A and B are shown apart, each in its own frame.
Chain A
Amino acid sequence: MSTLSTKKASGKGKMYNRGAWKYAIPAFIPLLLLSVVPLSQAIWMAFTDNVAGFNVKVKFIGLENFHRLLGDKLFWASFKIGIIWAVSVTLLALVLGFGLALLLNQKLRFLGLMRVLSLVPWAMPPVIVAIMWNLLLRPTSGPIDGILSFLHVPGAKTDWLGDFNTAFPTVILIGAWVAMPIITVSILAAIQGIPMDMVEAATIDGANAWQRFRFITVPAVRAITTALVALNIIWNFSSFGLVFVLTAGGPGGKTFVPALFAYNEAFKYGNFGYAASMGVVMALAIVLMLGVYLKASKREDTQR
């Protein structure tokens, strides 16, 4: 986790503010009470038969929840959807965001407008994003279908969010729309941090545009891209609001992401312990994905 964790967080040289530790107390106590304790409880709960309701006797049942979860085909279907969702949204947003960052770095017209627009999706609450795309994608009155039928493209009058084949890809596209701004702005900042004389020197040495992109721009944005991909996988794998309002998991469970599954298990059926075991499995999956990804990107780093 080289890029994410602290390489040399502090202790560079001497510590000049020796009294600093006491400022940590007022935040570490709530952090401990409100973050460490509940999270530990959540993990503990995954090993119990906890159910909703007052004064229920809670029993430690070992790995029983996980055992049951292993055979829960519906959960693993949802788990698979979650992985596809997290990876596709991240990759699509990365490609779109990188492209937009490259455009924003050029001297073009309408740059100011584009800059502002590129941030809009980020500012919007997920529920509003869902409402907005729902308005756009309506099969009878939405403009997307209006445009498609105007262009005589097949696919007009499709119920994009209700059709078995189109619902998941459509939701992924909307997810990427939401994820794009952070990626765009961060990559743009990295590109603009490239020293100009480096580019000039490369040009004088005869590097063409593609070579400059390949050997200057790409390495310059590598570190930030690694962090962005990792964060986006974390955020998206357990995201809830957007999909809940857009499709509520439908049609026919095609967009039933694991956060929805765990939510239903806990707050619809009241199986707190079982739902907690799903959460633990999701957390483990995220850690595993991050581990593999960060290791791979580190290896690539040392190879060049």
Chain B
Amino acid sequence: MSISLNTPAEKKKRKYFLIPTYFAVICYVLFLGFPFLWMFTTSLKSPIELLQLDQSFIPKGFYWQNYQDIMEKRGLINSAKNSTIIALVTTVITTIFAVPAGYAIARLRKVFSGAATGWILISQVFPVSLVIIPLFMAVRRVGLLDTIWGLILVYLVAALPFALWMLKGYVASIPMDLEEAGAMDGASSFQILRRIVFPLLLPGIVATALFTFLNSWNEFFFALVLIQSPEHETLPLTLARFMGSEGQVLLGPLAAGAFLATIPSLLIFGIMQRKLASGLLAGAVKG
């Protein structure tokens, strides 16, 4: 069933599968897409409409005040600013560190690369609830508790191993022959890296950077532990706090904020699409 051929007999056989197949398609589309659409239409409903039982999918009017409410009164703009700064700085620093190192891990002798890869894997096994304790103490010691810089520091710790892992996979897929040819022509090791590896690696670097950005944009746990003041909150923190308090009643603004916070993630995903998954697991299968 998974692989289809276009012989007449096959086509005839496939016709019997069409109805259950399309039924499955509809189920998947509803399961995957409906929750998001419902959140969007909820964000357009007025408080009065949201009080009613058995709501309709389509709102009775467009109540844009929900967006105004969440952005201005609940400090969502400030949180979005924090989230953007944190995610951007984390991404830039992680990429600067991870690109040369990812290359080295993929191309170095077994001993080094084995140790580095081993460490990357081990660090993934440690639960964040364990890692956070020494990090919390370290951030507190340097006086960065409850600041966005403290959070950036912790996000670097979280992002670096996975970025290395992804980049290692991308480097491994670049044929060694090209570098050999470069060396034959007398290119220095830096020239090989800059002129041959870097251009080929660029899509991988972009994917890694976007992935890092997305992860810090979405992150919640570290922010919850390290940030206390509302003015330093990230988007997920503000929204989680809002949901735990007035958001229980103010469903419209809650949905509006949640919708807005998802847009950057969706945009990044639109750009990356399937490349992301293949890159993410490239390290796992290509080795």
Contact = CB atoms under 8 A, between A and B. Distances in A.
Interface in A118-176: 118-128, 130-136, 140-141, 143, 146, 149
Given A19-B190, A24-B101, A34 B157 contact: yes
A66 to B, nearest CB: 14
Question: A interface, by DSSP: helix, strand, loop or mixed?
Answer: helix
Contacts of A234: 124-125
Given A224-B281, A287-B125, A121 B274 contact: no
Nearest to A118: B32
Contact of B101 (A27, A108, A209): A27
A9 B106 contact: yes
A269 interface: no
Nearest to B157: A34
Contact of A283 (B127, B136, B182, B189): B127
A4 B121 contact: yes
Given A122-B269, A131-B239, A186 B277 contact: yes
Interface in B29-73: 29, 31-36, 38-39, 42, 50-55, 57
A107 B239 CA distance: 41
B110 interface: yes
Given A5-B117, A23-B104, A42-B133, A282 B127 contact: yes
B2 to A, nearest CB: 5
Interface residues of B, number: 122
B193 to A, nearest CB: 7
A262 B284 contact: no
Nearest to A82: B127
B203 to A, nearest CB: 16
Contact of A209 (B1, B32, B278): B1
B29 to A, nearest CB: 6
Contacts of A223: 285
A81 interface: no
Question: B interface, by DSSP: helix, strand, loop or mixed?
Answer: helix
B265 interface: yes
Given A42-B134, A132-B39, A234-B125, A7 B32 contact: no
Interface string A251-287: 0000000110011001100001001101110110011
B195 interface: no
A39 interface: yes
Contacts of A177: 31-32, 35
A125 B265 contact: yes
Contacts of A57: none
B214 to A, nearest CB: 7
B251 interface: yes
Contacts of A22: 104
A127 B236 contact: yes
A10 B108 contact: yes
Contact of B183 (A17, A131, A185, A262): A17
A39 B38 contact: no
A303 interface: no
Contacts of A26: 96-97, 100-101
Interface in A30-47: 30-31, 34-39, 41-42, 45
B219 to A, nearest CB: 8
Contact of B32 (A99, A121, A132): A121
A199 B97 CA distance: 44
B173 interface: no
A303 B102 CA distance: 35
A38 B274 contact: no
B269 A123 contact: yes
Rank and list the top 9 A-B pairs by shortest CB-CB distance, nearest first. A279-B130, A27-B101, A19-B189, A238-B127, A23-B100, A24-B104, A185-B277, A125-B218, A241-B220
Given A127-B240, A182-B280, A186-B281, 16 more contacts: A5-B121, A6-B117, A10-B113, A17-B183, A19-B190, A30-B97, A37-B134, A106-B21, A118-B32, A135-B42, A141-B53, A189-B278, A259-B221, A280-B130, A283-B130, A286-B125
12 contacts: A120-B266, A128-B261, A131-B247, A135-B254, A141-B52, A203-B7, A209-B13, A263-B225, A266-B129, A275-B130, A286-B125, A290-B125
